[in-house]
Amino acid sequence: QRPVNLDPGYVELSKLVLATTKNGSHRIYLKDGIYAESTLHYREGQWKPWPHTYPDYASGRYNTFFEELRNRYRNKLDALGETRRPEGGRL
């Protein structure tokens, strides 16, 4: 077991996207052997896993952290007047 595991990615209003070097049918090739994966999606006011989501992310253990990031991002967008609502019209 690794003492620390850093997964590069980003949070936006509707999803958490992580980068990986592993290919899969649900992953999108970016460049130089790097793929993108939507790991969690935000629906009905909470972070939800996909069937392919790794167990540590699916457990919900990081959801409070991702919620904080999402709120900061939404506040920045609001301040810039750039909030775009995801499909369904809910933030």
pTM: 0.82
Cα 29 → chain centroid: 17
How far apart CA 74 and CA 55 sit, in angstroms, is: 27
Please indicate, yes or no, if residue 62 is contained in any of the structural domains. yes
Our count of domains for the chain comes to 1
With respect to residue 17, please indicate whether it lies within any of the assigned structural domains: yes
Q: What is the mean pLDDT of the chain?
A: 90
**pLDDT of res. 88:** 47
Residue type, 77: L
- Contact in structure between 7 and 18 (CB atoms under 8 Å): yes
87 part of a folded domain: no
Alpha-carbon distances of 90 from 42, 74, 87, rounded to whole Å? 10, 12, 7
- Residue 16 located in a structural domain: yes
Q: What pLDDT, on a 0 to 100 scale, did the predictor assign at position 66?
A: 97
- Convert the pLDDT of each residue in 43-73 to its tens digit: 999 999 999 999 999 999 999 999 999 999 9
4 in a structural domain: no
**What distance in Å separates the CA atoms of residue 63 and residue 59, rounded to the nearest whole number?**
9
Domain annotation covers residue 44: yes
Residue-range definition of the domain harbouring residue 45? 9-80
